[in-house]
Amino acid sequence: MAVSVEKISIALPPEMVAQVRQAVETGEYASSSEVVRDALRDWTYKRRLQQKGLEELRELWLKARKDNTPGVPAEDVLNRLERKYQAIADATGAAK
């Protein structure tokens, strides 16, 4: 199966060019194009995960807005968090 490719030109700062060249010179990748393709696959994967996370957050937000049960006062939550993190600090020997 032949894969269609299109050449594009990109501009990179010298540090990135050096990293790409080093990856090819050490044999980690066969070409600069492989380095860029791999980086784009990672970037695409991270974007997909981020989008999924945002969609889940939206669903939770909508569900929470529809929930009519009484909430917990913010001061109670903050006090509980303060006690929790103070206990962690005390356990690790951190100063108060």
Question: How many residues in the chain?
Answer: 96
Token look-up 């974007």 returns: 47
pLDDT, position 1? 75
> Residue 44 falls within a domain, yes or no?
yes
Residue type present at position 20: V
Confidence of residue 2 (pLDDT cuts 50, 70, 90): confident
Of 44, 24, 43, the residue nearest 35 (C-alpha)? 24
Confidence of residue 94 (pLDDT cuts 50, 70, 90): low
- Stretch 14-41: mean pLDDT: 98
> Residue 92 falls within a domain, yes or no?
no
Q: pLDDT averaged over the chain?
A: 93
- Are residues 86 and 95 in contact, defined by beta-carbon separation less than 8 angstroms? no
Confidence of residue 12 (pLDDT cuts 50, 70, 90): very high
- The residues, ordered by sequence, that sit 6+ positions from 89 with a Cβ below 8 Å of its Cβ are 95, 96
Give the count of domains, the chain.
Answer: 1
Structural domain of 19: 13-68
Confidence of residue 23 (pLDDT cuts 50, 70, 90): very high
Backbone angles phi, psi at 20, to 5 degrees: -65, -50
> Residue 88 falls within a domain, yes or no?
no
Look up the pTM and report it.
0.60
> Residue 87 falls within a domain, yes or no?
no
User: Is a pLDDT exceeding 90 seen at residue 55?
Assistant: yes
